[in-house]
Amino acid sequence: MIAEDQDGINQSVYNALSELGISEIAQTQYCDDAFIRIKKAAMDGKPYELLITDLFFEEDHRDQKYASGDVLAMALKKEFPDLKTIVYTVEARFQKVRSIMISGEIDAYACKGRKGLDELRLAIRKVYEGKSYISPDVRAAMGDRSDIEINDYDITIIRQLAGGKSQPEICRYLEQEGITPYSLSSVEKRINKLKDIFRANTPAHLVALAKDMGLV
């Protein structure tokens, strides 16, 4: 089952599956339709083996119970734990990737791009072999490095940025609250690190991304 709302990408994924010798392929542009069709197929004794889904779907006139690919995958995994799921998306923020992969609902994560279909084919092969796959572009998100983890200190800084505070003002706030480190260099370095983690261009962009993920 392909769940992808962009016609061109939906068709390119279909073609990639066909080239791999997969003959039974269904396509939809809505997460709700994917859920219903996968559930009906299971009830008919012909369950789907693989779901390939984007994360984000554009809103239109239809109200959707499952508005995103990760929500769809989570709902399906509860009912059909044997269903394999591959996310095929442009989303490359480390924290988002990490939260999705750690959840256990996703078997592979492939990034759209210049070599996206090659990655997708490799992800399909890996999943078929009972293995997991994650795009090299975001593989660092699953590492053990502590510098990609978001902690309470980071959330405090982002919240202060969201409140319009400058870096010196954030330093004074941290000092008053007994939160360390509170030196200007430490705060500046951590904001720059957070920008790298979230792939944000500016502090304002960082705040916007953090809000999108529900962190602040």
Q: Do 17 and 62 share a structural domain?
A: yes
pLDDT of residue 59: 84
Q: Which of 99, 114, 142 is the last residue of a domain?
A: 142
Which parts of the chain have pLDDT scores under 50? 146
Q: Tell me the DSSP string of 84-125.
A: EEEEEES---HHHHHHHHHHTS-SEEEE-STTHHHHHHHHHH
Q: Do 89 and 23 share a structural domain?
A: yes
pLDDT of residue 200: 85
Domain containing 34 equals 2-142
Token pair of 177 as six digits: 């609250």
Measure the CA angle with vertex 44, ends 43 and 46; round to 5°.
105
Angle between helices 94-103 and 184-198 (to 10 degrees): 60
Count of alpha carbons within 13 angstroms of residue 36, beta-carbon side:
10
Q: Which of 126, 142, 158 is the last residue of a domain?
A: 142
pTM above 0.85, yes or no: no
pLDDT of residue 97: 78
Q: Do 161 and 71 share a structural domain?
A: no
* β partners of residue 89: 111
pLDDT of residue 140: 61
pLDDT of residue 23: 87
Q: Which of 118, 142, 166 is the last residue of a domain?
A: 142
Q: Do 154 and 123 share a structural domain?
A: no
Token pair of 206 as six digits: 């960082």
Cβ(123)–Cβ(108) below 8 Å: yes
Nearest alpha-carbon partner for 170 in 150, 190, 148? 190
pLDDT of residue 137: 77
Q: How many domains does the chain have?
A: 2
pLDDT of residue 146: 47
Cβ(107)–Cβ(127) below 8 Å: yes
